[in-house]
Amino acid sequence: MVAIAALPLDCALRTVYRRGPLVSDNEEHVSTHPTDRRLPPTGWTGLQRREGEAVLRWLARERMLHRGFDRLAKGLRETLLRQSRNASDAREIWQAVPSVLAECNEPGTYSIRQVGVAYGWLHLLDRYVRTWLALEHLLRERILPMARYGVRVLDVGTGPGPSAFATYDFYTALESYARIVDANHWRQPADVT
């Protein structure tokens, strides 16, 4: 299990691999068969070294971060509207804000009414973006977690899971890239729990 240190403190996101190491210099033959899941000839690090910048350019050109952000922002807006139908609801959300800001690592904080809504309002979008950018950084540094059959992610912590959403969206974007450019090794389905 590998912890990604650049992620938010209150969300201990851990990446667990179905098979194989985080990176490998395995020199085995790579088949061109579309369902073959062998390692690239120079391992995951070599693949990221050769093609990582092209993937990053594609992610930026296709505005994949913005698409995920917009989808999440729309859901957050709908939640805020649904959860604050009157002044009393809005006041409860506002009263939860100091605890979310000062005591978000304390389990008791999450027994406060509307604290989940306050947390989402304050942190969801920011932490989604920070997690996405951390994953881009890992790819740029050639240490993005990859495996033969994709990655398994366990988001352990409190709050609405912005790291889990960003991680799922990032690896789903890699899947889209793989389909568009027919690059089998970038097919990295994420199993997020």
Please state the φ and ψ torsions of residue 174, each to the nearest 5 degrees. -60, -40
Q: Looking at residue 135, what is its pLDDT?
A: 98
pLDDT-based confidence at residue 157 (cuts at 50, 70, 90): confident
Residue 32 lies in a domain: no
pLDDT digits (tens, 9 = 90+) for 31-50: 344 445 567 778 899 999 99
**Residue with the larger pLDDT of the pair 193 and 167:** 167
Q: How far is CA 47 from CA 53, 93, 139, 153, 193, in A?
A: 10, 47, 10, 21, 27
Which domain does 108 fall in, by range?
A: 2-23+39-192
Per the structure, the count of domains in the chain is 1
pLDDT-based confidence at residue 158 (cuts at 50, 70, 90): low
**Residue with the larger pLDDT of the pair 189 and 36:** 189
Angle (CA) 113-166-98 rounded to 5° is 30
Cβ pair 28, 39 in contact under 8 A: yes
Give the torsion through C-alpha atoms of 17, 44, 6, 105, to 10 deg: 0
Other Cβ atoms closer than 10 A to 80? 16
Q: How far is CA 94 from CA 91, 114, 141, 157, in A?
A: 5, 9, 40, 22
Q: Looking at residue 159, what is its pLDDT?
A: 65
Q: Looking at residue 38, what is its pLDDT?
A: 64
Residue 11 lies in a domain: yes
Which amino acid is present at 130? R
Residue 126 lies in a domain: yes
Cβ pair 129, 69 in contact under 8 A: yes
Q: pLDDT at residue 175 above 60?
A: yes
Residue 129 lies in a domain: yes
Find the range with the poorest average confidence among 58-62, 90-94, 102-106, 138-142.
102-106
Q: pLDDT at residue 72 above 50?
A: yes
Residue 31 lies in a domain: no
pLDDT digits (tens, 9 = 90+) for 126-149: 999 999 999 999 999 999 999 988
Residue 76 lies in a domain: yes
Residue 62 lies in a domain: yes
Residue 29 lies in a domain: no
pLDDT digits (tens, 9 = 90+) for 73-91: 999 999 999 999 999 999 9
